[in-house]
């Protein structure tokens, strides 16, 4: 028998755009919270980023990524230029458990939506903020994306490249989705603490901090050792068993045998070069480090002899750790991903059936399907304001 939703009865008001904070809201909705997404009357820009705008032939009416990060919510549209809109929003927030936002601090203060003001009115309220650089320091009010705060400024972008290559481009939402998990963790912790104290609190997550945290192994080494670790150089890695190699058909495979002593002989056997195991240049990790370029040259020749598909067959069953470098299209058909139900079908009222990424965790007694689409823009506005205690005239004034 399935338990009730963990966050049943919890209301979240989300005033946020783009990815990080909205994806946190989606996870809260997956856990059973009633998440009210507040948008401007024309809808946030991501909602309208249809596949066609990226050159993809698709009739999907809105952005699929918007639906993934806003699934299961209800929609309230408000125009802050209307005198009655902000008071209506504050009344809704006062009857809610969590206010989730990525609005910059100075704008929150301008609208009377900052944590101090809101919690003075509703001490039990949890105010969860997502920002680029945090709420203190010279950049507290600076706008940011994960590209800037998480990726470029932290050193992450520079570390993720071969020394001879240009800095690596970040795909959309990588830092944002990382930050969302931290934001949800903070909100759940604050709800748990409120259960015992009755008091709400602030939860703050920023993209810059997330960048240092996700890059934490290198950052910790640099902080304690006084120097950043060297870049990975494919032609001369410190461990040639932890490196990428091109196959005969121009594809790539990735060896990830960090414990090189343990895997050296099994790898030599797997690739049909048992004699390399006793080659004095490569007999231990130190020798392989000193002769790294020579070993990479040999492995380059070996892996260039067969196409990737053949290597997948030939390496099967050998006690080595590696992975084919898939294209995204191939990754979507990975048998393991399919077996785990990582992709789920969603019924969209206009687009019909489509697949999306399911929530990245499982609970044994509560199914988090993640199969509800994002709400139609403004579809729930009147109902939400009515639940907040507004009468018909007040709703009309707030909505126009």
Alpha-carbon gap, residue 101 to 130, rounded angstroms: 6
Domain positions in the chain are: 11-214+336-399, 242-246+252-324
Q: What is the CA radius of gyration of the chain?
A: 26
Task: Give the pLDDT of residue 348.
Answer: 87
Task: Report long-range pairs for 115-122 (Cβ below 8 Å, ≥24 apart).
Answer: 115/202, 118/90, 118/93, 118/94, 119/200, 119/202, 121/90, 121/94, 122/93, 122/94, 122/200
The predicted-structure confidence for 115-151, as pLDDT tens digits, reads as follows 999 999 999 999 999 999 999 999 999 999 999 999 9
CATH number of 11-214+336-399: 3.40.50.10540
**395 has a pLDDT exceeding 90:** yes
Task: Give the pLDDT of residue 351.
Answer: 81
| CA angle (205, 209, 214) in 5-degree steps | 110
Q: Kindly report the number of other CB atoms within 10 A of residue 40's CB atom.
A: 14
> Could you give the C-alpha distances from 347 to 67, 195, 356, 375, in angstroms and in order?
11, 36, 11, 12
**1 has a pLDDT exceeding 70:** no
Alpha-carbon gap, residue 6 to 54, rounded angstroms: 38
* Rounded mean pLDDT, 339-345: 96
| Residue 23 CB contacts under 8 Å (≥ 6 apart), including other chains | 68, 69, 173, 176, 177, 180
The chain-wide mean pLDDT, for the chain, equals: 96
The predicted-structure confidence for 99-125, as pLDDT tens digits, reads as follows 999 999 999 999 999 999 999 999 999
The predicted-structure confidence for 275-313, as pLDDT tens digits, reads as follows 999 999 999 999 999 999 999 999 999 999 999 999 999
Residue 68 phi, psi dihedral angles, 5° rounding = -65, -40
* Residue 2 near residue 32, CB atoms below 8 Å: no
**58 has a pLDDT exceeding 80:** yes
* Rounded mean pLDDT, 241-263: 98
Task: Give the pLDDT of residue 2.
Answer: 65
Fold classification of 242-246+252-324 is formyl-coa transferase, domain 3 (3.30.1540)
* Rounded mean pLDDT, 180-198: 98
The predicted-structure confidence for 4-23, as pLDDT tens digits, reads as follows 999 999 999 999 999 999 99
């Amino acid at each position: 028998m399935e338990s009730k939703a963990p966050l049943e009865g919890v209301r979240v008001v989300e005033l946020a755009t783009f990815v990080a904070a909205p994806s946190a809201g989606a996870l809260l909705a997956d856990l059973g919270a009633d998440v009210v997404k507040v948008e401007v009357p024309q809808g946030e820009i991501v909602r309208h980023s249809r596949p066609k705008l990226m050159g993809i032939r698709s009739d999907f009416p809105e952005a699929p990524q918007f639906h993934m990060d806003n699934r299961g919510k209800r929609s309230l549209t408000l125009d802050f230029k209307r005198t009655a809109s902000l008071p209506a929003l504050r009344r809704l927030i006062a009857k809610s458990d969590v206010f989730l936002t990525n609005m910059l601090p100075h704008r929150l203060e301008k609208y009377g939506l900052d944590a101090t003001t809101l919690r003075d009115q509703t001490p039990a309220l949890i105010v969860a903020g997502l920002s680029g650089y945090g709420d203190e320091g010279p950049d507290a009010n600076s706008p940011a994306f994960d590209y800037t705060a998480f990726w470029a400024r932290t050193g992450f972008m520079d570390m993720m490249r071969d020394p001879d290559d240009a800095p690596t481009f970040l795909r959309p939402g990588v830092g944002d989705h990382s930050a969302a998990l931290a934001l949800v963790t903070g909100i759940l912790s604050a709800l748990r603490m409120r259960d015992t104290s009755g008091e709400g609190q602030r939860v703050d997550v920023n993209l810059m901090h997330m960048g240092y945290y996700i890059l934490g192994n290198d950052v910790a080494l640099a902080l304690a050792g006084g120097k950043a670790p060297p870049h990975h150089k494919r032609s001369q890695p410190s461990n040639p068993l932890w490196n990428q190699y091109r196959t005969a058909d121009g594809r790539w495979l990735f060896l990830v045998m960090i414990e090189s002593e343990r895997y050296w002989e099994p790898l030599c056997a797997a690739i049909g070069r048992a004699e390399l195991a006793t080659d004095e240049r490569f007999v231990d990790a130190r020798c392989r480090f000193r002769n790294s370029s020579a070993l990479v040259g040999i492995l380059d020749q070996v892996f260039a002899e067969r196409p990737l598909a053949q290597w997948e067959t030939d390496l099967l069953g050998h006690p080595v750790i590696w992975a084919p470098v898939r294209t995204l299209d191939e990754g979507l058909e990975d048998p393991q991903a399919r077996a785990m139900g990582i992709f789920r079908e969603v019924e969209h009222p206009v687009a019909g059936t489509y697949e999306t990424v399911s929530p990245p965790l499982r609970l044994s007694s509560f199914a988090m399907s993640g199969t509800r689409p994002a709400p139609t823009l403004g579809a729930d506005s009147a109902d939400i304001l009515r639940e907040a205690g507004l009468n018909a005239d007040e709703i009309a004034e707030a909505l126009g």
